[in-house]
Structures are given as structure tokens and as C-alpha cells.
Amino acid sequence: MEFKLFAFVTLICTPGLYALTVVSLKNPVAVGSNVTLSLNDSMAIPVGSWLYESTVLVVWFPGNSLVGSSFNKGIAFNNITYELTLTSVTLRSSGLYALESLKPLLSKGEFRLEVEEPVSNLSLNVSNTNLVEFNGTVTFTCSASGTPKWFSWQNGSSVVTAGGRVELRNDGQVLAINSVMRYDQGPFKCIVANNISKEESTQITLTISYGPSNLTITALPEKMAYASDSAISITCSADSKPTASFYWTYNKVPLNVNGPNLKLTNTTQNKTGLYTCIAQNAVTLRYDAVTKTIHIVDPISSVVVNPLAGNPIKNMPFHLTCDVVGPEDSIHWMKNGMYLLPNNTITLSSDNSTLNFNQLTQNDDGQYLCVASNAVSSMTSSAYNLVVNYGPWNTAITGPAMSEIGYTVTFSCSANSYPQSQYSWFFNSSKVAVGPVFVTEVLLPNNSGQYTCMAFNNITGSSNNASLVLTVIDGVTVGVSSNPLIPLASQNLQLFCNVDGHYNSLHWLRNYQTFQASNRVTISVDNTTVNFKPLQTADNGIYQCVATNIFKQHISQPYRLVANSPDAAVSVQASVLVTALLALLPVLHE
């Protein structure tokens, strides 16, 4: 304890007196120490005295000083500085000391000295060191020798103050704690101090039994749910003194497990439930419990999209189901990689397991899959390729409405349909062929009539027809003749196009190229006659007549035109005459 200089100064207020100042280096002081009282004023006092209470200690005057016989051994006086030294002071040395100046001025100064005995023989007693939290009361009693002035208490490094459960009695000499708590275990110590010394007692630590409380239960690994066959370690802890004992229950049924650790192995879904840790303190006779819910879930093992019934047909309802093996918490549908939400054409069952199409359209074509999830797994089905079956409709026949005798006709049939329609052909109500293409036999007049194609979809069960009326007409024959019969150079010549049958147009070819008229060679308005005026050798070549009807072009046999000289003409005529006579011989023979 640090001591400071104390000075007790008394001003003498009696009229006519001058106040002096008396000081000491220490005050209070310990028993047995030396104390010097001195004048703090710079003045000469030829005649004066020191007094203790009302007793004269020292008197001085010029040339001499006198010390009272009762204080002769314990007092020393300096007649130059006027200092009074007290040696080996005792408790009785405490009191009021005064210095009086009798000459030259009548003045006086006082100082009250305090002598104290240092603190010693400090002891600390406690009523009980083994307590139970909330149930016990403890009393600490601190005693000491000396001149005590105050008592204080510490719990560890914290100062103990009165209030609440804490009481300080007998001026702080007694510390009482009611309803002790675990935080009151200490260590406690008593501190006793006065103005000259301070002492600390030995420390006392209490044994306070408490708990169990603040129970916690944890699982490793910590998860919201565990897959079957998981290994789970559950640990329980509690604040308790002495250490708590633990036992476990599952769904309130005791388990044959003691200790803070519970291990679950080879877990199955039926092990889901409430796992409770119960902690008990053998001293406090208290217990507490904490419960943890462990969810054990089988993983999903299969997810398949299946049609509920029937085929997907346009404008008809249709249903897809998500068939899941294993417990599912949620099901989501996807179409072409995008999550599918209900709208005015599709709905979902309450558990999302069934996707309902109110009325199928071709826009519903696509790849559908479902995603099933639970707390420990998620699985996506393979894609179900939904193709909406429809038709047939818009059945149509392509082919001619007219043809010639002796030819064949090819008819083609088409329809909007999925899957592809099957086709059947009918002639005047009689089935004649199957398949999308029908080729007639060689046409005769009786092949004229109505040809019908029936398209049939074996999935939708619907059919649709288209008909076409074919008219079979006679064919066209074309030939070329000349006049005169023997073409002669420098003579006029006509080539005639002889057509048997109906045609729409005629034109001529020369050397297989389209033949054009000129100033010398003209073509009649109806294209039936070519006029050479006159014929020249430059006109030699192969001539053909082409008659075109609605079906095709009919081309005559090539007519080779040669402009003959007059001499060559006689030879040609003789050859022609001989040929004619030979042809008549069989007739003449008959």
C-alpha cells in the first residue's frame, strides 16, 4: 500500500494568535515506527513548546530546552529546526500534537497523529464447500488482527458486491451467498486493509454440483435425412458436475445403450424416429433430456414414364403417368428439356404423378420425362417420345382425268395422317388395288369410270376418301403423204399430215427440229399441208408431222424427202409400177 504525506493543520482562531503549520512525512504510521513532526513555516521561535493533548512534552528558550520526564526516553527534540521526533510509537502515541510559539509572536500549530497496528493473523472460514446448485447457501467469515478498517471479497478476479443472492454482513466481515450457482465456485478470498497495510487470505474453492443442463445432441454427418444403409453417429453432451450419465430411447422405448454416443449402422427406413438422450446427475439427482428426429429414407431406384391407356390421338384426352419405385417427395415434368407447368390444356394430378392432356393437339408432340426426388436422391426418367396420331384427312388423288385406249394411267393418293395411312383403290365400287400408287391395266373403253382412293389410319381408326373420273378415248394416228407421189426438183410439191383421231394442234419437224415456213415453202393455216414452190434439193431431209392432244404428242413415221431429177423420176415410176404388179399377182392368180 502506497503511503502519502499527511499534514494535519489547525488554525488557531483566537484573536491575537498567529496560525502555524505542523507536518509529518507519514500519517497514519505503524506501531514501532519513528515519526518526526516539523514546522512548515520559516520563522524563528526563541521561546516555545510542544504539547501532546494537554501535556507539555518539550519547552525551549534561549540557551536551553527541557523535556518532560514521562517522555524522556521516547522523544528527541532539535532546538534549531524545532523538529520533534517520536521513536517506536505505540497505539497510545496517537493523538493531537501542538507547537506553540510564545515569543516573538503568540502562535500555535496542531497535528493529529494516527498510529495503527498492521493487519495480521488473517484467516478465512467457510460454512460448507460441497453444495448443490440452487439448493445450498454458503457463508464465508474473515477475521484478522490489527487495526482493521475495511473488508473486501473477490471471486476469482472479480470483486464481490452485495445484492441479489449476495449479502455482506458485519461491515463486510461475513460474505453469504444464497442459492449458490455453478458460477459461485470461486476461488474466493478475503482482503483486509487499513491505512498502513493490506493482507489477502488464502483462497477457498467451492465444489458446486450442478446440472445436467444445456443438453445438446448432434449427428455426424449432420443431414436433414439419411439414405438407407448409412452409418450415423449421434452424440449427446451436457453441462454437469459431476459428469452426467447418459442413456438412450428410440420412440420412447429404452435402448440398451449407455454413454454419450449412439451409433446406428445398416440403417433402414423403419428406423426413422425420435432418438432421445437422457442425462442424469447422481449428486444433484436431476435429469434432463433432448430429442433429435432422424429421417432415414430409401433412395429412389426407378422412374419410368408410361401412357395410362390407349394411343395418343388428336382431339382426344390422353394421360402419362410417372411410375416411381421408392418414396418420392416431389415429382416434376419436363417437355423438350423445359419444366412443364399446368395450363388450360394440360393438368396435373394432386401428387403430380399423372400428366393429363385434355385434348391432344399436334403441338403436344415432344419428349416428356419426369423427375422424382426425395430427401436423399433424385432420378430422371428416360424420355417418352409423344407423337400425336391424327388423320387421315385432305385425301387427294393426282393423275389424269382422260387417257387413250392402249395406254396405262398412274394414279397417286396422299393424305394428311400419322402414322402413314394405308391406301385402297376402287373402280366403280370394286376394289382393284392397295398402296399409295395405282397403275391401271392397258386401257380399253370400258375402263372409263370413277376411281376412288380410301386412306385408312389403323391407329386412329379413321378413313377418308377421294375420287376421280377417268375418261378413255380413242388414240391418234399420224402419217405423211406427198403430191405428186414422186418429188421432182424444180416442181411444186405438197406434203400432207394425215391424222386419224382427235387432236388439239399440229406442227411439223424437219430433221427432228421444228420446221418453219419461208417465202418459198409455206404451211397451211391449219398446219395440215406444207407447200414447196418449187421443190429444191436444199429441201431434202426427213419430215414428220406431230399431232398433239391432251395426253401427249403423236409423231408420224419419218418421211424422207428427196428432190428427184426428171430422169430419175422415170426409173422410180417403173420401180413403183413393178412393185404394184407384184402385189396384184396373187389376186390375178385366183
pTM of the predicted protein model: 0.56
Residue 202's φ and ψ, nearest 5 degrees, are -65, 165
SS3 410: strand
Distance CA 446, CA 26 (A): 157
Omega prior to 312 cis, within 30 of 0: no
- State residue 74's pLDDT score: 83
Q: Which is it for strands 553-555 and 541-548: parallel, antiparallel or unpaired?
A: antiparallel
- State residue 175's pLDDT score: 97
Q: Cβ of 189: how many Cβ atoms within 10 Å? A: 20
Return the closest-CA partner of residue 204 out of 131, 284, 282, 121.
Answer: 131
Question: In sequence order, what DSSP letters do the residues of 67-93 get, joined into one string?
Answer: E-GGGTTTEEE-TTT--EEE-S--GGG
Instruction: Please give the distance of CA 479 from its chain centroid, rounded to a whole number.
Output: 90
Longest dimension (CA), the chain: 221
Fold of the CATH domain 302-386: Immunoglobulin-like (2.60.40)
Per-residue confidence of the chain (590 residues) as pLDDT tens digits? 332 323 333 333 344 467 889 999 989 999 999 999 999 888 889 999 999 998 899 999 988 888 876 655 788 999 889 999 999 999 999 999 999 998 888 899 999 999 999 999 999 999 999 999 999 899 999 999 988 789 999 999 999 999 999 999 999 999 999 999 999 999 999 999 999 999 999 999 999 999 999 999 999 999 999 999 999 999 999 999 999 999 999 999 999 999 999 999 999 999 999 999 999 999 999 999 999 999 999 999 999 999 998 899 999 999 999 999 999 999 999 999 999 999 999 999 999 999 999 999 999 999 999 999 999 999 999 999 999 999 999 999 999 998 888 889 999 999 999 999 999 999 998 999 999 999 999 999 899 999 999 999 999 999 999 999 999 888 889 999 999 999 999 999 999 999 988 888 999 999 999 999 999 999 999 999 999 999 999 999 999 999 998 778 899 999 999 999 877 655 555 555 555 455 555 544 55
Q: Which is it for strands 296-297 and 226-227: parallel, antiparallel or unpaired?
A: parallel
Q: Cβ of 206: how many Cβ atoms within 10 Å? A: 21
Q: Are 544 and 520 in contact (CB under 8 A)?
A: no
User: What residues have CB less than 8 Å from 63, skipping those under 6 apart?
Assistant: none
SS3 271: helix
Question: In sequence order, what DSSP letters do the residues of 188-250 get, joined into one string?
Answer: EEEEEE-SS-EEEPPPB--EEEEEEEEEEEEEES--S-EETT--EEEEEEEEEESPPEEEEEE
- 141-145 long-range CB contacts below 8 Å, 24 or more apart? 141/173, 141/174, 142/173, 142/174, 142/175, 142/190, 142/192, 142/201, 143/173, 144/119, 144/120, 144/192, 144/199, 145/117, 145/119, 145/120, 145/121
CA pseudo-torsion sign 11, 12, 15, 17: negative
Q: What is the DSSP letter of 539?
A: G
Would 18-116 and 477-571 be classified into the same CATH topology?
Answer: yes
Distance CA 7, CA 22 (A): 7
- State residue 149's pLDDT score: 82
- State residue 346's pLDDT score: 95
Fold of the CATH domain 18-116: Immunoglobulin-like (2.60.40)
User: Could you tell me the three cell numbers for 15?
Assistant: 484573536
Q: What's the CATH architecture for 209-297? A: Sandwich (2.60)
User: Could you tell me the three cell numbers for 442?
Assistant: 392397258
Q: Are 167 and 178 in contact (CB under 8 A)?
A: yes
Q: Could you identify the residue written with the cell 409423231?
A: 555
Q: How many helices (H) and strands (E) does the chain have?
A: 1, 56
CATH code given to domain 120-205:
2.60.40.10
- State residue 579's pLDDT score: 52
- State residue 575's pLDDT score: 57
Enumerate the domain spans of the chain.
Answer: 18-116, 120-205, 209-297, 302-386, 390-473, 477-571
Return the closest-CA partner of residue 284 out of 237, 246, 240, 238.
Answer: 240
Distance CA 401, CA 409 (A): 10
- State residue 406's pLDDT score: 85
- State residue 72's pLDDT score: 58
Superfamily of domain 477-571: Immunoglobulins (2.60.40.10)
Distance CA 295, CA 161 (A): 51
Measured distance between the N- and C-terminal CA atoms of the chain, rounded to whole angstroms: 181
Q: Does domain 390-473 have CATH number 2.60.40.10?
A: yes
User: Could you tell me the three cell numbers for 305?
Assistant: 414414364
Q: What is the DSSP letter of 564?
A: B
